[in-house]
Amino acid sequence: MNEIHQLLFAHRSIRKYTEQPIDESLLHTLVRAGQSAASSSFLQGATVIRVRDPERRERLAVLAGNQLHVRSAPEFLVLCADLKRPGNCCERYDKPFAGDYTEQFIIATVDVALMAQNMVVAAEAAGLGGCYIGGIRNNPREVSDLLKLPRGVYPVFGLCLGYPAQDPECKPRLPLEVVLKEECYSEEGDEQRIAAYDDTVREYYRTRTGGGHGICWSEQVATLLSEKSRPHMRQFLAEQGFTMK
């Protein structure tokens, strides 16, 4: 196992940070690393908004669910799917804009995810830690207004970055055999594997630093999928120009 593999396997979400700032040149390196990720059709449909103003940061923390680390992280970024910039190219070359199709929405959203993952890996390689903030989508209209996002742009998630002031355990992942299928989708043997995995996750939550809720993965996911999850997103995306034709 090489150093990159070890780095990837050691990923944890970091929510507590020291007061040490991130050097400006390092932050720029992280964003450039993100830009180096694959981009479908070379769309480059991602934009990163760095938020440093304390009042704006405080407002985002509240909108994202009163998450303390949004306030306290040395850097907080909002990663946005951006079809406004490529849409401007259509105007420049007098071509019709078809960016409101579902495929274009998928491309831009995937671009953001790939970019962010490159940034986090680069950050961890430099001794930093990070935490994705999906809570940005709790109030996407207010976030968009606060960041002055134009039509064709939407906030996918936030990202806290800083030097870790905690050392949490790595959360166990599903068994490889459950995720990696040969030739076609098959669930043979998965029930038993997931049952064993549930025991592992239950023990992880029971013994991790700070304690936890002690439920297993299956119950956690069942609860998640049985509840409504941000039903406002469809209307919001349509208002932002993502009509999913």
CA angle 31, 24, 64 (to 5 degrees): 60
Q: What is the pLDDT, as a whole number, of residue 92?
A: 93
Q: Which two tokens stand for residue 180?
A: 């990696």
Q: What is the pLDDT, as a whole number, of residue 151?
A: 96
Q: What is the pLDDT, as a whole number, of residue 209?
A: 60
Task: Compute the distance between CA of residue 26 and CA of residue 232 in angstroms, rounded to an integer.
Answer: 36
Check: CB of residue 149 under 8 Å from CB of residue 238: no
pLDDT value at 214 more than 80: no
Phi, psi of 73 (to 5 degrees): -60, 140
Task: Compute the distance between CA of residue 71 and CA of residue 69 in angstroms, rounded to an integer.
Answer: 5
What does the pLDDT look like over 43-65, one tens digit per residue?
A: 999 999 999 999 999 999 999 99
Q: What is the pLDDT, as a whole number, of residue 98?
A: 80
> Region 226-245: what's the mean pLDDT?
93
What does the pLDDT look like over 63-82, one tens digit per residue?
A: 999 999 999 999 999 999 99
Delimit the domains of the chain by residue range.
Answer: 3-168, 171-245
> Region 4-22: what's the mean pLDDT?
96
Superfamily of domain 3-168: NADH Oxidase (3.40.109.10)
Phi, psi of 159 (to 5 degrees): -145, 115
pLDDT value at 212 more than 90: no
